[in-house]
Amino acid sequence: MKEIKTLIDLIGNTPLVQVKTFDTGPCNLFLKMENMNPGSSIKDRVALKIIEDAEKSGELNENSTIVEATAGNTGLGLALIAKLKGYKAKVVILDKMNENKVFHLQALGAEVFKTRSDVGPDSPDHYVNVAKKICNETPNSFMAGQFTNPSNPSAHELSTGPEIYKQLDGNVDAVVCGVGTGGTITGLGKYFEKKSPTTEMILADPKGSIVKDTVEKNKVNAADYSWLVEGIGEDFIPDTLDINYIKKAYEVSNKEAFDTIRQLALNEGILAGSSSGTLISAALKYCKEQEKAKNVVTFVCDNGEKYLNTAYNKLWLKEKNLI
Ligand SMILES: Cc1ncc(COP(=O)(O)O)c(C=O)c1O
């Protein structure tokens, strides 16, 4: 057994659980339980790879401050690993993200800066631009830069992909991912292109995001920011996303996403975060369209406990017209 010295040793190697109670047509649908990472999301893998690569290149040293713009989970992964390795963390988070993520970040000792959710990438108030400014103003700082840093997709190419392949004995027909930075879908696309070229990468995109239209080469309207799931959906195409890996795309509404995670909790006991509702909903659409049996994988990207006050709260759901 691997020796566990710190929580860092518990990142990755997450289990794969088959969905039992949903209509999956002729397919088997599996959930990779990324909520079981120590920072409770898929982003622990990315945070670790970014930090380790920066240590190797000399960009990080003993007294460095790590700065990042995040929907919350990358910040949590960075803050956790920063704490264990003795770095400081400054995290810029969108104001539409769940307040629980801010409390969690602060509990881990990160300094948190809230920014507007309703401005595009050209605005100085956009969270990525705010993070760059903080980085410029902080001595000995390192911008993790998940939207541009190749360590992000490479985390998935080197860990998530091989794990999925091994867990299904190489029989992986499709993997359904959302796009925040595109790191997951691009890293997995790269891995499976070499290892299992028939494996299809499928996009789950929240309604209002620009990624699906970009993939389908449709007219791309500006993002309308109406999606309520956290961590996926984009108003720009990040450097870390290579849309060429994406075979097919599905749009998922707020109602579909939130209904799906509530059903998942009720029927299978899995308390998933909101973005997982988008992913599982798209995966079910894909499964039902297939004519022969396929092994399809998607993710429980993060833990639903962060969203008990929203996704699992009837008052909030009513207020948003979701029940
Ligand atoms: C909860 C959640 N799901 C999915 C993603 C998307 O992953 P990626 O950034 O690799 O596209 C993120 C990214 O922030 C996330 O926080």
Distance 163 CA to ligand 1 centre (A): 18
Q: Is the CB of 179 under 6 A from ligand 1?
A: yes
Look up residue 72 and give its amino acid. Answer: G
CB hemisphere CA count around 264 (13 angstroms): 32
Strand order in the sheet with 141-143: 111-115, 88-94, 65-70, 141-143
Nearest residue to 289 (alpha-carbon basis) of 170, 176, 165: 176
Q: Is 187 in the pocket of ligand 1 (CB under 6 A)?
A: no
Sequence ranges of the domains in the chain? 7-36+156-316, 43-143
**Residue whose pair of structure tokens reads 């929203």 in the numeric block:** 310
Residue-level pLDDT, tens digit, the chain, 323 residues: 778 999 999 999 999 999 999 999 999 999 999 999 999 999 999 999 999 999 999 999 989 999 999 989 999 999 999 999 999 999 999 998 999 999 999 999 999 999 998 888 899 999 999 999 999 999 999 999 999 999 999 999 999 999 999 999 999 999 999 999 999 999 999 999 999 999 999 999 999 999 999 999 888 888 898 999 999 999 999 999 999 999 999 999 999 999 999 999 999 999 999 999 999 999 999 999 999 999 999 999 999 999 999 999 999 999 999 99
Tell me if 295 CB under 6 Å of ligand 1: no
Query: Does the Cβ of 183 fall within 6 Å of ligand 1?
Result: yes
pLDDT at 45 (0 to 100): 98
Q: Which of 20, 32, 43, 248 is catalytic?
A: 43
Establish whether 212 is a catalytic residue. Answer: no
Is the C-beta atom of 301 inside 6 A of ligand 1? yes
Q: Residue 286: what pLDDT?
A: 98
3-state secondary structure of 104: helix
CATH fold match for the domains 7-36+156-316 and 43-143: yes
pLDDT of residue 84: 97
Count Cβ neighbours within 10 Å for each residue of 120-139 and write b for 16 or more, e otherwise. eeeeeebbbbbbbebbeebe
Q: How far is CA 54 from CA 62, 66, 274, in A?
A: 12, 10, 31
Q: Which CATH class is domain 7-36+156-316?
A: alpha beta
Q: Which residues pair with 41 in a beta bridge?
A: 302
Q: CA 20, 24, 25: angle at the middle one, nearest 5?
A: 135
Nearest-atom index, ligand 1, CA of 72 = 16
- Residue 250 to residue 268: CA distance in whole angstroms: 24
Atom of ligand 1 nearest to the CA of 70: 14
Residue nearest atom 14 of ligand 1, based on CA coordinates: 231
CATH for 43-143 is: 3.40.50.1100
